[in-house]
Amino acid sequence: MSSREKILSAIRSLTLEPKALPDIPNFSNSGDLVERFTLSISGNKGEVLSKSEFEEWFSSSGFSKVISLSAQFSELATLPLPEDPHALETLEVAILDGQFGVAENGAIWLEDTQLGLRALPFATEHLVIVLDRNRLEDTMHQGYDKIAVAHSGFGLFLAGPSKTADIEQSLVIGAQGAKSLRVVLI
């Protein structure tokens, strides 16, 4: 008997009392979505910027290795999207469009179509996500309603920069992945 059969038949040999799958109510919170989203992102050690704030930061930083897949900021790109993700090793900035954000925790949903390469938001030194301020959801429940069962090979709820507190619980931003997250609300 294969291990598959062994495991499944071991489970099926048990008399297990039936338990109904509960329905999930449509929980919602009060308060302004933009305000709550902004607060959540800063709690996760990211930053929410307006278009002009972002442009000011970007032009004063002098980055030379930039990939932009955002329609709004395509002119900022200095590099095309490579075929091999290993070419991202020295990338300074990636600018991507987010599908929607979740106010309760700052999580932003991205799929293969927004990412280009799945490694992009992780390997880049700085990450910028452009998000429509009318596309904010209340909680994760509304977030998953919105995604429903839409098919993408990879999907990501991204809520902040790479961070760790593994050394004496001291929070350090920029562990292995992106050292910063800027969300441009337009």
Partner 1 sequence: MTHPENAAEFLKDAQKSKWHDETLWFVRDKRDKVSKGIPEWEQLRELASGIKDNVLANLADYLEEFERNATKNGIIVHWAADSEEHNRLVLEILQQQNCTAVVKSKSILTEECHLNPYLEKHGVEVVDTDLGERIVQFLNQPPSHIVLPAIHLKKGEISELFHEKLHTEKGNEDPAYLTQAARVHLREKFFAAKVAITGVNFGIAETGEFVVCTNEGNADMGVHLADVHIACMGIEKILPRRKDLGVFLRLLARSATGQPITNYNSHFRSPSPGKEIHLILVDNGRTAQLAREKFRNSLKCIRCGACMNTCPIYRRSGGFSYNSTVPGPIGSILSPGLDLKKHSSLPFASTLCGSCTDVCPVKINIHEQLYEWRQEVTKTQGEFAKGLSMKLANGIFKSPLAYKISGSLMRNALKSLPNSLIYHPLNVWGKNRNLPDAPKESFQQWYRKNRS
Contacts to partner 1 from residues 29-58, by CB under 8 A: 29, 40, 43-44
Residue with tokens 């931003």: 173
Integer Cα distance of 129 and 106 in angstroms:
12
Q: Is 147 an interacting residue with respect to partner 1 (CB under 8 A)?
A: yes
Per CB under 8 A, does 71 bind partner 1? no
- Find the shortest distance in angstroms from Cβ 133 to partner 1: 20
Return the residue of 160, 180, 182, 185 that touches partner 1, per CB under 8 A.
160
Residue 126 tokens, joined: 């700085």
Q: Which CB atom, from 20 or from 71, has the smaller least distance to partner 1?
A: 20
Min dist CB 61 to partner 1, Å, is 20
Q: 74-133: which residues touch partner 1 (CB under 8 A)?
A: 85-86, 89, 104-107, 117-119, 122-123
Q: Residues 93, 130, 161, 184: which binds partner 1 (CB under 8 A)?
A: 161
User: Which residue(s) pair with 79 in the sheet?
Assistant: none
Closer residue to partner 1, CB minimum distance, 75 or 84:
84
Residue from 81, 132, 135, 174 binding partner 1 (CB under 8 A): 174
Residue of 68, 99, 114, 162 that binds partner 1 (CB under 8 A): 162
Output the CA–CA distances (angstroms, integers) from residue 69 to 19, 28, 73, 116, in the order listed: 46, 32, 8, 8
Q: Cβ(136)–Cβ(180) under 8 Å?
A: no
Which of 84, 52, 47, 79 lies closest to 66, judged by CA?
A: 79
Q: How far is Cα 114 from Cα 143, in angstroms, rounded to an integer?
A: 17
The least distance separating partner 1 from the CB of residue 48, rounded to whole angstroms, comes to: 15
**Given its phi and psi angles, is residue 45 left (phi above 0), alpha (psi -120 to 50 degrees) or beta?**
left
Binding-site member from 69, 138, 143, 182 for partner 1 (CB under 8 A): 143
